[in-house]
Homo-oligomer: A and B are copies of this chain.
Amino acid sequence: MRSSRIGLMGGILSLILTAPLRAQDSKPAPPRPHEETARRIVATGLKSCQAHSLLTKLCTEVGHRLSGSAGAEKAVAWSKATMTELGFENVHLEPIMVPRWVRGPVEEAAVVGSENSTSAPIPLKICALGGSIATPDDGITAEVLEVRSFPELHAAGEKAKGKIIFFSRPFDPSVINTFAAYGGAVDQRANGAVEASKAGGLAALVRSMSTALDDVPHTGAMYYTDVAKVPAAAVSTIGANRLSELLKKDPKLKLRMKLTCATLSDVESANVVGEIVGSEKPKEIVVIGGHLDSWDKGQGAHDDGSGCIHAIEALRILKELGLRPKRTIRAVMFMNEENGLRGGQGYAERSRPGETHIAAIESDAGGFSPRGFGVGGNPAVFAKIARWAYLFEPIGADQIRPGGGGGDISPLGSKGVPTLGVNFDTQRYFDYHHSDNDTIDKVNPRELELGAAAMAIMAYILAEEGVSPSP
């Protein structure tokens, strides 16, 4: 893209021809309600662009922060200090008990060939899934059964016994929304160990939940039931492809894997809270937030440092503009979304005399360009919010769709509070999610800031207008 006609013709014709000048191409019209406020929120956010600086601090001064870890403790202190420094009101911690799972120093796997093989072991990049037990001290060495689904595993019958079960179904690439593709594959990660155990397998090895083809394994939660526990790990997508190829050549090959993870006792942690107190109805609350914990990989930049910073930056922008709505906006950094949801549950269960939550907004889908909101709760609330779409049109975040929320605010939703989730462009999220790739350099400052602006606008108008049907 050039600008030669700028020089040759002295104008910006070529730019107008090639650029979608969204806010600029409409004819002047009287501003609609809150339109000027929304415009100021966006401009103020983009001009100061503080979200990325804040996220950089969280990612580099704190780093990853799995529930119960030293990183999580640091993150709680950092959030409290940051909110205090920014002048938020009623900054405080709300203690909760959280689970504590530790990865341990060793996680390794290698193809060691079949019985009489003389070739050197072929290492695979793996990581333990969150919640997994360790392997025995000398690891597990066994043949591998590759399956693409639980029905395929069930059909294998006796063949699964004594094997490492390799769940290799990739994301369906033809699905446009990557969250839907994730939804179509993640049963393998969540329930693979239980299904492997039921089938008589010794361990589960799961293709990483990722849209990227690279050599970085992606962790994530897995669950046990009352069947015997077997260890579970993720293998990088490149490693998964390699293993599939090797199995085609030598179905009798053996895999050696070793994990040293463990679940320890619960420890105390906390949600971190800060507010702009409402001017007229301070006991009516709009919650905005993300989850402060992350997996113990990368820096939790997109998942969910971005969501936390969206909420903090949203309040900061409103403060910079001196906007104090009628109702209180409360930023909550929820602890333990990834492997327990104790923060979300604890927040909803806590006694809050006299308070009413009128809505809750969660950002937990990364720091990409915002595209809109999903709105859970009753249709009247959705209809009211959908009428505000024009406020989000200049930033391209005007897709207001029914159905939405987030893990941490789902316990509030269960109590009847309308829940909203911020939606973003989804294409890159699972390249980074739950892996060492989820670092600050993957977050664009302007995209992140637009997410904060979207959250600020929605929080402000909800706190100003409430959710009762308009007269």
- A residues with a Cβ closer than 8 A to B are 1-8, 12, 14-25, 42-44, 46-47, 49, 173-180, 182-183, 186-187, 189-191, 211, 220-223, 303-304, 337-341, 362, 364-365, 369, 371-372, 374, 376, 394-396, 399, 401-407, 410, 413, 419, 421, 423, 425-429, 431, 433, 444, 446-447, 450
Contact = CB atoms under 8 A, between A and B. Distances in A.
A223 B16 CA distance: 20
Contact of A174 (B22, B43, B180, B376): B43
Contacts of A189: 3
9 contacts: A3-B189, A4-B190, A7-B223, A16-B403, A18-B405, A20-B423, A369-B427, A427-B450, A428-B447
Contact of A17 (B42, B376, B426, B444): B376
A48 B162 CA distance: 36
A402 B25 contact: yes
A174 B19 contact: no
B446 A427 contact: yes
Determine how many copies of this chain the complex contains. 2
Contacts of A23: 176-177
A44 B189 CA distance: 27
Contacts of A183: 3, 6, 12, 15-16, 19
A186 B3 contact: yes
Nearest to A222: B7
A182 B431 CA distance: 30
B403 A1 contact: no
A262 to B, nearest CB: 19
Contacts of A220: 2-3
A179 B401 contact: no
A21 B180 contact: yes
Given A2-B407, A4-B223, A176-B450, 11 more contacts: A2-B337, A3-B190, A3-B220, A14-B407, A16-B183, A17-B413, A18-B364, A19-B423, A21-B177, A46-B174, A46-B176
A190 B369 contact: no
Nearest to A406: B18
The list of the 6 closest CB pairs from A to B, nearest first, reads: A19-B179, A7-B223, A7-B190, A43-B174, A15-B183, A20-B423
Contact of A223 (B8, B14, B337, B407): B8
A24 B47 CA distance: 37
A373 to B, nearest CB: 9
A381 to B, nearest CB: 15
B18 A407 contact: yes
